[in-house]
Structure formats: structure tokens, C-alpha cells
């Protein structure tokens, strides 16, 4: 069974500081990994995804994430936080096996950006 653990339900950073949101996964087969962002009262927007190509993945809005198989991690980073980055971020995993399309999400990390 798949699972996703996001360390820290709430992270606060100063504007301009590094953003680091942590995600660890467990999966019995090679996974596909995703980061989504959710603004208040809205649906989820895809930030980036890892699907067994390059381990360093670049996404929208200056975010990137690195797949580390040895650490079973897929942490999300951004060099310099902007006020507009304040939102909730969800890490998700999906088995790469054929016929499996279900995403398993972590509980989310709420990012606050302090001016």
C-alpha cells in the first residue's frame, strides 16, 4: 500500500527566504510523485511531477523537487519565497504499474509567508 508523509503541517518563512516542504513516501513499486498547491476554497493545481525521468524536476512558479530513491523523499523547494506562495501544498504518490490511477495524498503543509 502506498502512503505519503508530509513533515510539518504548518511552515512559516520570511519573504525572500528559502522554502522547503518535506515529503516522504512508501510504495511497493516505482512511484510517480506529484506536488499540488491549493489556495483557499479552490481546487488543486499541479506544481510539478516526477515520472521516472530526471530526478530533479522543475515546476511552475519557481518551485522544484528532487526525487531521492535512497531516502524515499520528494521534497519541494523554492529559493526565494513570495507572498503569493502562501497556500497549502500536497504531496501525492501513484504506483507506476499499469491500470493503477489512484493518487494517494499526504495531509498537506500550509505555507505562510511573513512580510
Partner 1 sequence: DTGVSQNPRHKITKRGQNVTFRCDPISEHNRLYWYRQTLGQGPEFLTYFQNEAQLEKSRLLSDRFSAERPKGSFSTLEIQRTEQGDSAMYLCASSAPGSGNTIYFGEGSWLTVV
Per CB under 8 A, residues contacting partner 1 are 4, 9, 32, 34, 36, 41-46, 49, 51, 90, 92, 94, 99, 101-108
Grid cell at residue 13: 518563512
Taking every pair of C-alpha atoms in the chain, what is the biggest distance, in angstroms? Answer: 46
Q: How many CB atoms are closer than 10 A to CB 61? A: 12
Task: Give 73 or 109: the residue with its C-beta nearer to partner 1.
Answer: 109
Min dist CB 61 to partner 1, Å, is: 16
Task: Give 80 or 100: the residue with its C-beta nearer to partner 1.
Answer: 100
Grid cell at residue 114: 511573513
Min dist CB 41 to partner 1, Å, is: 8
Grid cell at residue 105: 495524498
Min dist CB 82 to partner 1, Å, is: 23
96: Cβ contacts below 8 Å, ≥ 6 apart:
29, 30, 31, 32, 51, 52
Task: Give 18 or 60: the residue with its C-beta nearer to partner 1.
Answer: 60
Amino acid at each position: 500500500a502506498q502512503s505519503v508523509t508530509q513533515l510539518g503541517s504548518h511552515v512559516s518563512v520570511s519573504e525572500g527566504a528559502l522554502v522547503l516542504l518535506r515529503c516522504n513516501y512508501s510504495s511497493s513499486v516505482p512511484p510517480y510523485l506529484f506536488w499540488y498547491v491549493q489556495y483557499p476554497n479552490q481546487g488543486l493545481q499541479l506544481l510539478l511531477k516526477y515520472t521516472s525521468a530526471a530526478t530533479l524536476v522543475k515546476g511552475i512558479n519557481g518551485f522544484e523537487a528532487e526525487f531521492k530513491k535512497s531516502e524515499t523523499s520528494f521534497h519541494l523547494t523554492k529559493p526565494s519565497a513570495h507572498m503569493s506562495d502562501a497556500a497549502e501544498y500536497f504531496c501525492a504518490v501513484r504506483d507506476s504499474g499499469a491500470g493503477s490511477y489512484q493518487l494517494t495524498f499526504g495531509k498537506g503543509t500550509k505555507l505562510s509567508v511573513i512580510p
